[in-house]
Amino acid sequence: MPGELSGLTQAQEAAVQTALARGEGARSAHLVIDDDRVALEIVAADEPRLGLAPARPRLRFDRVALRLLSEIRTAVRGDVPEGQALLLTVTAPIRLASKTAAALEERVRSWLGTGGSPAEVSVTLFGNAVRVRLVRGRRGSSEVAGFVHNPESDAVAILDAAQAFLETLAKAAGRGQRADVSSVAWLVIAAPQALPIVELYRSLCSQISVSDDFGKVLLALGDRRLELLAG
């Protein structure tokens, strides 16, 4: 049934599908959905890397992984420069999680505090392979997002996909001064090129302040399927 998998009501999904069918490219629409005024920002995912990672990453969401990432985000968010985002990957299984978190916090702070530091570093801490990348984020925000993945997954591809998605979010957020300030903004990313890495995108949205810009973030796939990423 429409709406069941997307997390939207049938009315919401039908309204978004109608807006998508009106034309190609980046555009806006103002709709009334379930009695709410919605400013719909529709962005074509023209970033070549978006959704085109060579393989679907095997991400881990067990308690140890989530706690490690939460500790790192809390510890170093204040050290990330405004307008930038820190992305990191850790290879599972995580060994000595508490010591790894403390050592990673120290390394990241030292790295960020060094003028002219490289945009990406990789290190092994207590047997855990870690890769950290500093990228451009959204204006006015400082964000940290991390991913724990199985050893066969490509950490660089994960970071590439996350960076491309953040760039798309930043472009969309920069576009939208809405004339109707009483409406809520939804973002729809139209990605017809390939099946994107939905799980990775949804995890990324859960770690950053997407709600500051958009009430919902949706992914529209080439087969007209909608995926709710945030909201």
What one-character-per-residue DSSP string does 36-98 give?
EEEEEEEEE---TTTT--SS---B--SHHHHHHHHHHHHHHGGGSPTTEEEEEEEESSPSSHH
Q: How far apart are CA 112 and CA 92, in angstroms?
A: 25
Helix (H, G, I), strand (E, B) or coil at 223: coil
pTM value is 0.86
Q: Is the pLDDT of residue 88 over 90?
A: yes
Q: Decide which of 39 and 1 is more confident.
A: 39
Q: Is the pLDDT of residue 87 over 90?
A: yes
End-to-end CA distance of the chain: 20
Q: Decide which of 115 and 47 is more confident.
A: 115
Phi-psi region of 192 (alpha: psi -120 to 50; beta: other; left: phi over 0): alpha
The whole-number pLDDT of residue 67 equals 96
Q: Please report which confidence band the pLDDT of residue 170 belongs to, taking 50, 70 and 90 as the band edges.
A: confident
Q: How far apart are CA 51 and CA 229, in angstroms?
A: 14
Q: Is the pLDDT of residue 94 over 80?
A: yes
The whole-number pLDDT of residue 104 equals 96
Handedness of CA 159, 5, 12, 207 (dihedral sign): negative
Q: Decide which of 216 and 6 is more confident.
A: 216
Residues in Cβ contact with 38 at an 8 Å cutoff, skipping those fewer than 6 apart: 15, 30, 31, 32, 183, 184, 185, 186, 215
Please compute the mean of the pLDDT values over residues 99-106 and round it to a whole number.
Answer: 96
The whole-number pLDDT of residue 223 equals 66
Q: Are 144 and 86 in contact (CB under 8 A)?
A: yes
Half-sphere exposure of residue 179: CA atoms within 13 angstroms, side-chain side = 3
The whole-number pLDDT of residue 193 equals 59
What beta strand segments (E) does the chain contain?
Answer: 27-33, 36-44, 84-91, 120-125, 128-136, 142-149, 184-191, 216-221, 226-230
Q: What is the DSSP letter of 211?
A: G
The whole-number pLDDT of residue 1 equals 41
pLDDT for 33-71, tens place per residue?
777 888 888 887 655 455 555 567 899 999 999 999 999
Please compute the mean of the pLDDT values over residues 138-155 and round it to a whole number.
Answer: 92
The whole-number pLDDT of residue 2 equals 46
Please compute the mean of the pLDDT values over residues 131-150 and round it to a whole number.
Answer: 92
Please compute the mean of the pLDDT values over residues 90-108 and round it to a whole number.
Answer: 96
- Measuring CA to CA, which residue among 220, 215, 167 is closest to residue 196? 220
Asked which of 62-71, 119-128, 170-179 is least confident by mean pLDDT, the reply is 170-179
Chain centre to alpha carbon of residue 169:
8
Q: Is the pLDDT of residue 116 over 60?
A: no
Give the CA distances from residue 205 to residues 53, 70, 71, 111, 123, in Å, rounded to whole numbers and listed in that order: 18, 14, 17, 25, 26
The whole-number pLDDT of residue 224 equals 73
The whole-number pLDDT of residue 182 equals 55
Please compute the mean of the pLDDT values over residues 85-93 and round it to a whole number.
Answer: 97
30 beta partners: 39
